[in-house]
Amino acid sequence: MQPQFTSQGIVLCLLLGLALSGALFVARLYAVLSQGAKPRRRRGPAERCHLAVFLGSGGHTSEALSLLSALDFSRYSPRTYFISEGDTLSMRKALELEAAKAADASKSGLSHPAAKAPYSFVVIPRARRVHQSLLTTPVTAAVSLCAAIWHITIAPLLSRSSAPEVLLLNGPGTCFVLCIAAYLNRILGLQSPRLIYVESFARVRQLSLSGKLLRPIVDRFVVQWPKLLEDGKRGEFRGWVI
């Protein structure tokens, strides 16, 4: 007897398939969320690590660059600076830090002064501008997310250049879309940067909105005042890091 495919049968199959793929996605998301990034591997002291940082303008940029100034730039190389559209001041400050680090390195004979420092800038459209209406925010946020997915998920697949292995974040809003892109990599089983969030020195008793949003999903959550950890949720305090 020939099986009869009725329209109800097709709809049923479609629904079943949809439910199945939905369940798989949720299971994958759950697995990714509960594991975090892949377990870290040991690195030799001379091995390099591709570092990315989001410069969120103003005080966010100052604190992020202060954190970076602590690092060995020959180890954390190359470096990718994510900046918001139109934020030339953050770019200028990052260039100042790169110049200062290069001057230090050539003084101590570690690098040739003419050698091109391995860093680049990537511009991300803002997820939400200051005073932007809530009505249009989903549109700008979607554009911002697409840019983040392009740079974190798709571009590394298409090019031979390395992808960031760690992404340093300290707010505000736009850094959230970079996190979502990194999670997309994890769901798809691609290499994802480890996510490190450092809450601002100015946050003493209450986390910022970015801090609250990112606390459950980043790999390391660092605060600079111990009171912020009194709720017993995750995070670490190592004194002032900036």
Partner 1 sequence: MHAFVTVGSTRFDALVHKALSPPFLDVLRAKGYRSIDVQCGNSDFDPSSFDLPAPDHWHRTHDGLDVNVWRFKPSLKDDYERADLIVSHAGSGTIIDVLRLGKPLIVVPNPTLLDNHQEELSDALAGLGHLKSSTVADLPQAIEKLDPSKLVPFPQFDGSRFRELLDDEMGYVDHDHARKNGR
Which C-beta is closer to partner 1: that of 49 or that of 117?
49
- The set of residues, in sequence order, having a beta carbon less than 8 Å from that of 220 and lying 6+ positions away, is 194, 195, 196, 197, 236
**213, 178 contact by CB (below 8 A):** no
Nearest distance from residue 146's CB to partner 1, in Å? 29
- Asked if 143 is part of the footprint of partner 1 (rule: CB under 8 A), the reply reads no
| Number of residues counted as binding partner 1 (CB under 8 A) | 41
Cis peptide before 78 (omega within 30 of 0): yes
Residue 242 to residues 62, 66, 212, Cα–Cα distance (Å)? 9, 6, 20
Which of 87, 98, 165, 199 is in the footprint of partner 1 by CB under 8 A?
165
- The set of residues, in sequence order, having a beta carbon less than 8 Å from that of 125 and lying 6+ positions away, is 84, 85, 140, 143, 144, 147
- Asked if 240 is part of the footprint of partner 1 (rule: CB under 8 A), the reply reads yes
- Asked if 200 is part of the footprint of partner 1 (rule: CB under 8 A), the reply reads yes
- Asked if 217 is part of the footprint of partner 1 (rule: CB under 8 A), the reply reads no
- Asked if 241 is part of the footprint of partner 1 (rule: CB under 8 A), the reply reads yes
Residues forming the site for partner 1 (CB under 8 A): 40-43, 45, 47, 49, 58-59, 62, 66-67, 69-72, 75-76, 165-166, 194, 196, 198, 200-206, 208, 219-220, 222, 225, 236, 238-242
